[in-house]
Amino acid sequence: MTVPATRGAAAPSSPSGVWLRRYRPVADPAVRLVCFPHAGGSATACLGLAAGLAGAGVEVLAVQYPGRQDRRGEPFVKTVDALVEAVLPELREWTGGPFALFGHSLGGTLAYETARRLTALGEKPVHLFVSGRRAPTVPRTDTAHLLDDRALIARIAALQGTDPELLRDEELLRMVLPALRNDYGMAGSYRHLVGTPLSVPLTVLTGDSDPNVSVDDARRWSEVAGGPVELHVLPGGHFFLDEHPENVRHIIEEALDHVR
């Protein structure tokens, strides 16, 4: 299936499977933005983007990973490759018009690998956004999934993206820790396979005090890019995008101006 260059290509009126959520439908969107949440996250993490971008003609489709929220009873997916392959059939129902991919943290890796896979299928996105994620060429071993519960909670708290009160709620922690542990394991097992540089315009966003991603780590995304790359460094830590939603939205809108 090839991507038509025209706006308003036919697509389902709503997601027909379990992988995508369409919180703010946009009539005849100029472009669709597929959003991959962070480790332990769910589709609702993309609600802010969906609301903020709808007025700009950008429709957000949020990926819902198994094992959380309305998919709580489903088994987790263990690897990046397996998750990309699982989401592709439903996602390809929506690639008949211009579309872009956005991912934060682990979601950045998933968005990147999805862009590679779709490009190989002749369905190249118009843009890729990676946020809060080091380049796949940066050597690093992720072992957070091997920590005991107390140490894993401390690791989450250090990222400053979770209300401290929630981290003291034992019932809630019992619900979310399995997803976090699985997703950290997914990140730990990921190995980048060298291939043709991705010929998709790339925007990289990072926080200037992210304990997981240095600015140099973010800058190295240029090593896998075969097209233009822009790096935006915003104030904040790993969840800088929660502190500066308007800035993030503006960056996305500007990057997509050529298709809006």
Active site residues: 105, 238
Angstrom distance (rounded) from CA 240 to CA 104: 10
SS3 label, residue 73: coil
Under the phi-then-psi rule, with left for phi > 0, alpha for psi from -120 to 50, and beta for the rest, what region is 25? beta
CB atoms < 10 A from the CB of 226, how many? 12
Helix 149-158 vs helix 170-189: crossing angle, to nearest 10: 80
Whether 40 contacts 183, CB under 8 Å: yes
Nearest to 133 by CA among 160, 102, 162, 156: 102
Does the CA dihedral 159-160-162-163 come out positive or negative?
A: positive
Angstrom distance (rounded) from CA 209 to CA 69: 30
Which H/E stretch holds residue 111?
helix 106-120
Nearest to 210 by CA among 130, 153, 149, 150: 130
